[in-house]
Amino acid sequence: MADHAEPAARPGARLVSRTVEIDDPGPLLDLLPAEQGPLTWVRRGEGLVGWGETARVSTSGPDRFVTAERRWQRLLAGAVVRDDVGLRGTGPVAFGSFAFADGSPSRSQLVVPATVVGHRDGRWWLTRTTLTDGNTDGVIPGPVDGPPPVAPAPPAPGPVAFADGAVSSAAWEALVEAAVRRIDAGEVAKVVLARDLLARTETPLDPRVLLRRLADAYPSTWTFSVDGLVGATPEMLVRTQMRLVASRVLAGTIRRTGDDAHDLALAASLARSSKDLGEHEYAVRSVVEAITPFCAGTNVPESPFVLHLANVMHLATDVTGVLRDDVSSLHLAAALHPSAAVCGTPTTAAAALIAELEGMDRGRYAGPVGWLDSAGDGEWGIALRCGQLSEDAHEIRLFAGCGIVEGSDPAAELAESTAKFVPMRDALAG
């Protein structure tokens, strides 16, 4: 499939990057300027934010991951880098978001921001990345100013109107029934079905509003923004650092009630649910099978724990390993995608059933989203609890999905999907 990189494709262009340590500039999300296409990956106040665009790689098709990594490596091959900090995420960084399906018309994006501010373990840094023509003569342009100023508060979107997306609620329940019949027939063991919801605002929607509200309400998730895809995911697809790899698997969900005692009882029932434990086992197995070829060893807990979020609880397992060779985080994300948590089991049959039943293009929903640095280290989540902003910023398309297995009840799955819309609906409504 076609791919391109702009503006780095011009002959003689060289990537030039300078990173310096800075004093605490304040909350990362408060630094994002208006109308700059915010790039974010933040959890509990730590992570990366970026703005401006030095280079972009846009790809599609089954080779989208390979193409993006090849173009990223080509950019780095001639790069001139001065990094005074030397942490994971310093130096040149690319934020990325990839389409869920091989045949999706939505393009996957890898964006190199002009400015990045990072925070980790009590240290802050500022990176400027530019493109220069020809020889730099050993001169590395760098930040000569201090930390960026806190940006003015973004405006609230005003009234929001919600409408069905590609499929109505009633029609989606019918799709779940159809999926259960196919499971009973032995075609698949599990399939993840998603639905969408449209939200329209009277005034253009500033994504920084959503980012701040999501980060405040869901601090344990990774708040992300790449090329108009905005959300807060609880699921870490893969993280790498110095040949250590980790992946958090979520599958099996129950909605919280707001009553602490009742929620504890629900958490206990979730941990004992054969339906949810079976769904979770499928997801864990798919992750372990994907990373094992790259690892000298892996560690898989015997049983999941219950992850408590503000609106739902999930069964969760943290899978870890030690990499055999220098494998980039993006390469591992490609190997892991799509996991059983967002596709099903067996993968090929589940993906075909999704394409047949869902009646919509997921775009970059449920695809990998995150970042990588010049060493290949990075963090990639699964784009869940998110929405895709329209070009005119008056509409955002929200997504939610559920794992369908033997015995799944359509009404219960609809209720679960409705609960998964809550983070984005609340962020829009304020």
Which residues are marked as active site?
190, 235
Neighbour count for residue 14 (Cβ, 10 Å): 17
How far is C-alpha 159 from the chain's CA centre?
A: 27
Q: b/e map of 114-127 (b: 16 or more CB within 10 Å)?
A: bbbbbbeeeebbbb
The H-or-E segment that residue 70 falls in is helix 64-77
189: CB partners within 8 A, 6+ apart: 183, 282, 344, 345, 346, 405, 406
| Whole-number Å distance between alpha carbons of 55 and 39 | 13
Structure tokens at 172: 């989606």
Structure tokens at 56: 């972009």
Query: Phi first, then psi: what are they for 120, rounded to 5°?
Result: -155, 135
Q: Please report how the helices 347-357 and 169-184 are oriented relative to each other, as an axis angle in degrees rounded to 10.
A: 150
| Whole-number Å distance between alpha carbons of 200 and 161 | 5
| Whole-number Å distance between alpha carbons of 91 and 77 | 14
